[in-house]
Amino acid sequence: MTTERTLDLHISSSPHIRDSRSVPHIMRDVVLALIPAMIAGFIFFGIRSLMLIASAVIAAVVTEYVISEKLLKRSNAIGDWSAVITGILVAMNMPVAAPIWMAALGSAFAIAVAKWTFGGLGNNFINPALAGRAFLMASFPAQMTGTIFSQSGLFGKVPSPLCGMDAVVTSASATAWGGADALSGATPLAALPNLISSGANIQDTLLPLFWGNVGGCIGETSAIAILIGAIFLLGRRVIGFTIPVIYVATVFILALFFSGVEGASPLSSDAATVALFHILSGGLLFGAVFMATDMVTSPITIKGQAIFALGCGVLTFVIRKFGGYPEGVSYSILLMNLVTPLIDRYVSPRVYGTGKK
C-alpha cells in the first residue's frame, strides 16, 4: 500500500527571501527610537516642544488621510505609521520658539508635496521630513533662524535655539560673546573660528553638548539621547552601521584636517576637540541616525550606502566650513537623495550568469 503525498508549490515573483517584519513594525521601532530625543527635548525646552511635535504629527496624519483615503481611495494608508514619523522629524528639526502652526504647515507640505506628489510611501525620492524643513527654512527664515533668547525649561533657564541643525549655545560661547543671554546673527557653529581665535576653552563645551544642556533644534541637542535611539535601531536591525558611521567619521576626519586652529596638526588635541565639537553640535548625529538612513531615499547596496554617506559627510563639512550658510546636514542629505538612483545604477551587482556590459 502506497501513500501519496501532495506537495504544495507556491510560485511568486522575487524577492523570495522575505523578512517577517512589516512596514508598520519597522516604523513603530523608529518611533520608539525617537522617544529618548523627545524626552530630552521636553526636559531642556519644556512643554512647548511636545506641543510642536503634537501639532506636526496631527497635521501629517490628517494630510495623509485626506490625500490617500479621500482623494486617492487607498485604504489603510495611515496605518503604516510613516506619517507619524514624518511629523515627529519635522518638529524635531525646528526651534522650540517657532509658532505651533508652522510645524503643522511643514508637516502638511512634507506629506502632500514631498511624499504623495511622487506616489506615496516607497516612491518619494527625497526625505519628506527634510523637504518640509527646507520649505520652512525658505519660507520663514526669520522664525527658523531667529534670535537666541533664554526661556524656561523643565530644569530652569536654557537657551532657546537659534536653529539650523548646526546651532549650539554653550557657556563658553556665551562668554566669548560677552556673556549675553540674548543675541542675534550667525549661529554659534558659524562663529567657531571666532571662538578659537578668542581663546575660549572649547573643550568645556563638549560635555554639555553630549548631555543636551545647550541650545538647538528640539531633537538635535542631546547626543546621548540620539545614541540611545541609534543603539535600539541597530539592535532591531532597522538600520545598519554603514551610513551613520561613515557619515560621522567623514565629518570628523575633515574637521581634524581643517580645524581652523593655527599651527595645530590633525593629530593634536586642539584639532580633536574641534572635530568632536563638529560631531556633537548641530544636527549631524540626528541626521545620520534618523534621516540619512531612510530606506526609501538611500542606496540599496552596502557599497552604494558607503558612497552616499561619504557624500553626505563631505557636503556637510564643506557647507559648514566654507559655505556662506552654516546649515550643512539637511541640505547635504537632500542633495545625496537626488543622486541615490544614479548610485544604485552604477554599483548594482552583476546579475549571476551574465557578463560585463
Give pTM, 2 decimals: 0.83
Using the predicted structure, report yes or no on whether residue 157 has a pLDDT greater than 50.
Answer: no
122-154, pLDDT tens digit by residue?
Answer: 888 999 999 999 999 889 887 887 544 444 445
pLDDT at 227: 96
pLDDT digits (tens, 9 = 90+) for 306-334: 999 999 999 999 998 887 666 689 999 99
Check whether 43 has a pLDDT greater than 80: yes
Q: What is the 3-state secondary structure (H, E, C) of the chain?
A: CCCCCCCCCCCCCCCCCCCCCCHHHHHHHHHHHHHHHHHHHHHHHCHHHHHHHHHHHHHHHHHHHHHHHHHCCCCCHHHHCHHHHHHHHHHHCCCCCCCHHHHHHHHHHHHHHHHHHHCCCCCCCCCHHHHHHHHHHHHCHHHHCCCECEEEECCEEEECCCCCCCCCCCHHHHHHCCCCCCECCCCCCCCHHHHHHHCCCHHHHHHHHHHCCCCCCCCCCCHHHHHHHHHHHHHCCCCCCHHHHHHHHHHHHHHHHCCCCCCCCCCCHHHHHHHHHHHHCCCHHHHHHHCCCCCCCCCCCHHHHHHHHHHHHHHHHHHHHHCCCCCCHHHHHHHHHHHHHHHHHHHCCCCCCCCCC
